[in-house]
Structure formats: structure tokens, C-alpha cells
Amino acid sequence: MKATTFEYRHQTLLHMLLVGLASLSYLRNRVDIVWAIVRHHSDSSSWERLVFGFGALLLLASAALETWANAPSHDGYRQQQMRVARILLVLAVGLLLPLPGTIVLLAGETILILRLFLRGEVGPADLPFQPCPTRVSLRSAFRIAASKWGLAASMIVFVCTLQDRIAEIGAACSVVLWLALNAGGPGQIEYRLTVFSPLQGV
């Protein structure tokens, strides 16, 4: 049940693949889960702004938590905070998807995070590698979380306008921004894989 080494080392890739899979639900249904619930309400716009405003807060919290976890002055509980940031992100993105996509995303992320959590609970004898994140500057920490900050900004603009196109363009720009700032650059978190030995920790 615990995550494999591939899952552990390629968490971002698996997360993006899962989001892409969930987004395919738009091909059959363009109505997101929030609008499907509130569209028959007499004040649907206000309810939509309220729910997506909450989603924007989730994205802001996710971005802030990931930035804090990667900050140079922060040392403890990094993995736990990154997972919480990921959960907040998934909850917010789920609001933008049709019901089937939301179910796929939440179920898939729950399974992935649970498997990662179980792997984190096993002892050193069961883990062939140990990730040791290098320290990064505060500026780099913001760069690493750039996509989340961009998504949060897009969600805030969407709350004000309720224009789907803005949310779609904002999401695409956030991904492009993250790739431009982090792909192959010094802002990425690098992992030094060290093999466990009987002498380690002695």
C-alpha cells in the first residue's frame, strides 16, 4: 500500500497527470460542480462568488504554506506541510471541475497522499533512499510556488468577474510561469539521494 520509489521521486509529475485526467471531464460536461449546485438559486452569482472566494483562500493558503515550507529559515515538518499544501490545492481545483472530474481528482490524490504517508511511516531499513532537500533562498521558495500564487490570483480575478475564460487563461499562464521560472533552473528543489547503510545515524 505504501508508495513506490517512483511515486516518491515523481510526485509533481503524478499530480499533474491526475489533474490532466480529471480535466478531461470537461469534454463531456462543461458545467463545474459549483455552478451545477447553485445555478437554480435565486442569487446564484453571490453563492458562486462565495464558494469560489473560499477556493481562492484555499489557494492562497496552499501557496503560502509551500513557500514557507521551502523557505531557508524553515527546517521542520517540511514534508507534512507540503502535503497539506497539496491537499488545499486539490480542494480548490476541485471546485473548478465538473462532478466526475472532482471525484477523480479527490479520490486519486487521496490515494497518492495516503501511499506517500504510509511510506513516510516505515523505518530506514525499508527505505533504499532518503530525500535531503537543499536549502533555497526565499526568492527561490516563491519561484517554486509560482504556479499556486498564479492560480490564487486567477481565482481572485474570477471571483470578481465570474468569467470562465479568465480562469482558464489564468491557469494556463500559471503553469507557463512555473515552467519558465523553474524548469531546469536554480529555483528547483534538488534532492540528494543517499543510500542507507548500517552506520547511518550512528
- pLDDT, tens digit (0-9, with 9 covering 90-100), for 120-163: 643 333 333 344 445 567 778 888 888 889 889 989 999 999 88
- Predicted confidence (pLDDT) at residue 200 exceeds the cutoff of 80: no
166-169 — which CB contacts under 8 Å span 24+ positions? Answer: 167/96
% the chain with pLDDT above 90: 24
Q: Report the pLDDT value the prediction gives residue 125, as an integer from 0 to 100.
A: 33
- Predicted confidence (pLDDT) at residue 181 exceeds the cutoff of 80: no
Summary mean pLDDT of the chain: 77
* CA-CA-CA-CA torsion sign (80, 11, 150, 182): positive
Instruction: Grade residue 52 by pLDDT with cuts at 50, 70 and 90.
Output: very high
- Predicted confidence (pLDDT) at residue 16 exceeds the cutoff of 60: yes
Least confident interval from 54-68, 123-137, 185-199: 185-199
Rounded-to-integer distance, Cα 85 and Cα 87, Å: 5
Q: Which residues of 28-56 are buried (b: 16+ CB within 10 A; e: fewer)?
A: eeeebbbbeebeeeeeeeebbbebbebbb
Q: Report the pLDDT value the prediction gives residue 136, as an integer from 0 to 100.
A: 60
